[in-house]
């Protein structure tokens, strides 16, 4: 199965990176400001991008400051069943974040477009963790 992968070196603690991925204020600061976040495994996160996209992710795994994993249960047909994995490791510069959007059925044009978009949002996440300001989607 195909996977989109990104590796970021972030000048920020694993706690900061984990918070950016697991809290409403964090995700609204780098991915989309239209979000509802669960706090426990089995709960559902909701991410909207205006009227264009509506995604619901079941929380599969949470290991504080180390790992976050979601499974898409509502969204584009190519996203259903895919997994979003964030692995955080402390390093001499702060944190290394390994991101994967895994379990794609095939490498389609939509897969390629999402790879580009994930690059943009991973940059936004890095900026948010390092400066307090990301570039999330805003429905204005």
pLDDT single digits (tens) 103-126: 999 999 999 999 999 999 999 999
Asked whether the whole model's pTM tops 0.75, one would answer: yes
With 90 as the cut, is the pLDDT of residue 1 above it?
no
Domain residue ranges of the chain, discontinuous segments joined by +: 2-98+114-131
- CATH homologous superfamily for 2-98+114-131? START domain (3.30.530.20)
Cα distance between residue 5 and residue 3, in whole Å: 6
Check residue 140 and give its pLDDT: 66
Best CA proximity match to 95, nearest among 5, 8, 4: 8
Under a CB-based contact definition with an 8 Å cutoff, are residues 70 and 45 in contact? yes
Cα 41 to Cα 22, 61, 69: the distances in Å are 11, 6, 9
């Amino acid at each position: 199965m195909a996977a989109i992968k990104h590796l970021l070196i972030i000048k920020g603690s694993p706690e900061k990176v984990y918070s950016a991925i697991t809290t409403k204020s964090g995700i609204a600061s780098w991915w989309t400001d239209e979000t509802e976040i669960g706090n426990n495994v089995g709960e559902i996160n909701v991410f909207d991008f205006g009227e264009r996209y509506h995604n619901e992710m079941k929380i599969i795994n949470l290991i504080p400051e180390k790992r976050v994993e979601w499974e898409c249960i509502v969204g584009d047909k190519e996203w259903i069943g895919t997994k979003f994995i964030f692995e955080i490791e402390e390093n001499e510069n702060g944190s290394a974040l390994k991101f994967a959007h895994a379990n794609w059925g095939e490498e389609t044009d939509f897969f390629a477009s999402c790879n580009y978009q994930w690059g943009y949002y991973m940059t936004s996440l890095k900026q948010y963790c390092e400066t307090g300001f990301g570039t999330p989607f805003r429905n204005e």
